[in-house]
Structure 1
Amino acid sequence: MTTMPLHSVHLSARVTKLLARTFPEYVPGVVYEGFRVESVDQQEPRRMFVRWHGGTPTRPVWTHGQALGCEKYKAQILEALTREGYAVTSVPGRMDVFVNDRPHDTSGPRFTVVANDVPFSSPWLVMDLWTRAHVATADTEEEAAAEAMEAERHHVLTDARIVTATSLYDLLDEADEILGDGLVWLRREVRRDVRYTEPVPHERLDALVDVANALRRGVLVTQDERLVAYEASAPARGDRHGTYAVHWVPKSLAPAVGYFPGRGWAQGPEVHAAIRLLISAGLTPVRYGERIGGGSVMCEAHGFMVSAADPLDSGVPGVHIDGIGSPTAVQTRGVPEALRAAGWEVTGHPGWTGAWAAYPPAE
C-alpha cells in the first residue's frame, strides 16, 4: 500500500477545506457532482490537482451541458485558490486545476521552456516550475519563450492585483503594457546633486506597481526604447528642486561584458585578449544591458570598458580602455599595471583620467 507524503496530506486537506466552503465535495457513490483533490504520481512532493466531477447515477454520460458546467466550476476554483495565495496552473484542454503551495523563494522566473520528447506532439513545452504542469505548447523554442514571458506577465499582474487597491487595476494593465517584457528591472534615480544613483534590481512586481502609481498621480510617463521614466517628489519638499527622475529599465539576460556594445563595432582578438588579461588580474569589467534610447546603453555595473582602436576595423592595432562610472582607485591603477606586466605598451589619455591606449606585445 502506498501512503501519501505528509506535505501532500496537509496540502490536500487545506485545499479541500478551502473549497468546501463554496463547492460540494465529490464522494464516489454518495455525492455525484462536486470537486475532488487528487494526485497524479507517487513521488514526493506529489503533484496535486483539483478535478470537478459531474453526472448522476441515472445519467452518467458526459454531455455538452456537463462540459460547460465543468468549465464554469474550473474558473471559480482557479479564482478561489489564486485569491488564497496558492500556486495554480490551468492546463489547456483539461478540466484539472493543478495546485501547490508557493515556494519560500519566489524570486526568479516561474515558467521555463523545455524540450518535449513525447512522439507526435509539440516539440516544446512551457512548464510551471511551481506546480510542475505545462501551460502551453509550441513548435519552436522562440515561440515557447514568448509564451513563457506571456505567462510570467500574467502571473505578476495577478499578484499585483492581490496586493493593491481595485482602483489601480486598470492602471496596472496600462503599466504592464508600458513595461513590456522583462522579469527583473533596474531602478535608478537622477537628481540635481548626484547625476545617477546605482541601479538597484527589483522584481517585476515592484516596477509594475510603481509605474501604476505614477500613472495614478497623473505625471508624464515617457518611454525611450526600453527606458521608462517619470518624475517623483522628494518627501517633505514640494518645490521643483525637490523632484527627481525615476528610471526603470529591464535587466539584460545576457549583458555585454567589458567591451562597448555598439552595433557594428569591431571586437577583434586584441579586445578579447585585453578583457581576459584584466579580469585575470582581478579587475571588474563594465556590464552593459538594454539599449535605452538616444544611442545610450544601460550600465548595469561600473568597471573597465575595452574597445577597438578603430571601432569599425579590427585590423587596426591597439585598444582603448576606459573606466566607466565610478572606478575605484585600485582599478584606476590596476589597468595599466596589469597590461604592462603582460608586456603591453600603455599610454594614458592626456586629458582624461582613467583612459588608456594599449598595444599588445609584438609577436
Structure 2
Amino acid sequence: MTIRLPGVGGELRTYVPRTEPLAPTAGAPFTSRTVFSAAHVVADPYADTTPDSPAAVDWDATLAFRRHLWSHGLGVAEAMDTAQRGMGLDWAGAAELIRRSAAEAKAVGGRIACGVGTDQIAGGTPAEVRAAYEEQLALVEESGAQAILMASRALAASASGPEDYLEVYGQLLRQATEPVILHWLGPMFDPALAGYWGSSDLDAATDTFLEVIAAHPDKVDGIKVSLLDARREVELRRRLPRGVRCYTGDDFNYPELIAGDEKGFSHALLGIFDPLGPLAAEAVRVLDTGDVKGFRELLDPTVDLSRHLFRPPTRFYKTGVVFLAWLAGHQDHFTMVGGLQSARSLPHLAKAYELADGLGLFPKPELAEARMKTLLSLYGVSR
C-alpha cells in the first residue's frame, strides 16, 4: 500500500507506510529518572461550541489516555500547556480536569502532578495574582496531586521587577504543604511570558529564579525548564541546591539532557512524551540498566519528529500531538478544544504522520494510514 503526501511546496509524493509497529513492552517502574508526560485533552466532537466558548471535553477518552500513559510507567503532568491551558481550556475546565485525573491516578496508582496558575483572572496586582495562585494551589493539594507552579501571564504583566516575583513565589512556597515543581516556560511557548522573573536578560532572570529556590529549598522538589536551550539548562541544573531536581522541558534536546554528563542529568516533564509514551518508557528502562548508548539509540531518532511538532510558532505543537493521538487510535476524531485542529497546515501534518510512522509509533499502522487518507480526501487529495 502507498499514500500520496503533500510537501511544503504543494507537490504530492508517494510514501510507503510501515507495516509493523514498534512493540515496546511494559516493565518495572523507573529507577534512574523521574519522568512525566504532559498530557493533552480530548475534545467532545459533538458539542455545539465556538472558539470563544468554554471547552467541551470528552472525559472518558481523556482519562483513558492518561491510563495509557500510566500503564507504561510514566507520570502524568496534568492541566499544563499541553492540555491547552490558556489556549482553549479555561480555569473551570482545568479544575474539573485536575479533580477527575487526580481521582483516576489514585484509583490506578499512577503518579500525577498538576498545573497551578492564575488563569481565572485576566490581570491584576501582584497581590491579586498571588490570591489566584493560592486558590488553584489549594485545589491541587486537596486533590492529592503534586503541585506545579506554572508561569503566570498575569504576573508577567503586573510585576514591576524581580522583587515582585520573589514576593509572590516566596509566599506561595511558604504555604505549600508539600514540595512543588517550579515551571519556567519560555516565550516561544507563550509570548505573554516574555521577561519572566523580572528581566528579558536570561542571565538576570536565572539569578532571580535561583534566588527563589535558594530561599525555600525544602519546598522545591524540582524545576521544569522549557527554554529550548540545552546549554542554559545544563548550566542552571549545576547551580541548583542539592536535592532539587531539574525536569527538562526541552523538546529539542531531551535525549542528551536526560542522559546527562559526568556532573549530573535532567529528569523529564515533556509534551513530546505524549505521543512518544511507550517508546520513551522503554528507553528510560534501558537507561535504568546503565546502558546510555542503548537509551540514545532508542530516543535520538525521535528528535526529528519532536523538532517538527514544536517548530515555530511553537505554542501550536498541541495540534500535532492531538493529530498523532487520533492516528494512533487513542481517540476517534481530530477535533480540539477551541478549534485548534486548524492551527497547522496539511503539509505539516503529513510530515508528522510520516515521521511518526517511520518510528513505528502507531499500534495499528493500517488504521493510521486509513485516517491519514481520510484527512487528505477532505483537502481534495485523491487516493
Shorter-chain TM-score bucket reads under 0.3
Structure number with bigger Rg:
1
Greater strand fraction, Structure 1 or Structure 2 = 1
